[in-house]
Structure 1
Amino acid sequence: MKKLILSAAIVLGSLSMHAETTVNANQAIITVNDQDGYKEVDGVPAAVKKSLDDAYPGVVLEKAWVNEQKEYKIEVTVRGEKSIVYTDATGKILKK
């Protein structure tokens, strides 16, 4: 009986040695944000930033997109609440 239990433990142990997790280290994630004609940009003009600071004290700019008409779609956080604001290149707020 001991030999049976011992051999079963050895067989089960050897099966678990072959189970491996494969990690692919060469994955490249490329994202292209083209939402409604908007393309993601790294920053916004100073006039847009000033306009947002005046309209929403304590605003934090998270992400920004621009379209061909130089209208900006900006994801902002105000008092812990995220929202999307649309402006033109001069800082005039189009939509809240």
Structure 2
Amino acid sequence: MKKLILSAAIVLGTLSMQAGNNVVLNSNIKTVNFQDEYKEIDAVPAAVKTSLDNAYPGVKLEKAYVNAKKEYKIEISVRDVKSIVYTDEKGTILKK
């Protein structure tokens, strides 16, 4: 009987130690917003438009952005499926 009570006390003591509160001292979260480096534009170069038409038949350009390196971030939709495509000024697709 003593062993049963002793083992129950050990199990309960072990469980209560793991149920303790964890204290987070440094909860700073750093985020990087890549949107800041791109500026919205009204029209894209013809080479970019042609490249997108060839890669995605039936593409519709929603919004376009450009950065200092002349790389374009283009929000497109194809048959109601929206996505973001990155190209350079020659129309080469960088990321899909």
Deviation at 1:35, TM superposition (A): 1.2
The DSSP-based 3-state class of the residue aligned with 2:68 is coil
Identity %: 73
Number of residue pairs the alignment of both structures matches:
63
Give the match for residue 15 of structure 2: none
Post-superposition offset of 1:36: 3.9
**SS of the residue 2:49 aligns to:** helix
1:38-81 CA-to-partner distances (Å, cap 9, x unmatched) read 00000100000000000000000000000000000000001110
TM-score, with structure 2 as normaliser = 0.64
What is the TM-score normalised by the length of structure 1? 0.64
CA distance in 2, matches of 1:71, 1:78: 21
Show structure 1 runs of 4+ deviating over 2 A. none
RMSD: 1.1
Structure 2 CA distance for aligned equivalents of residues 60 and 67 of structure 1: 21
Q: Which residue of 2 aligns with 1:39?
A: 39
Unmatched segments (≥5 aa) in structure 1: 1-33
5+ residue gaps, structure 2, are: 1-33
1:6-85, aligned counterparts within 5 Å? 35-85=35-85
| Partner-residue secondary structure (3-state), 2:64 | strand
Q: Partner amino acid for 2:87?
A: T
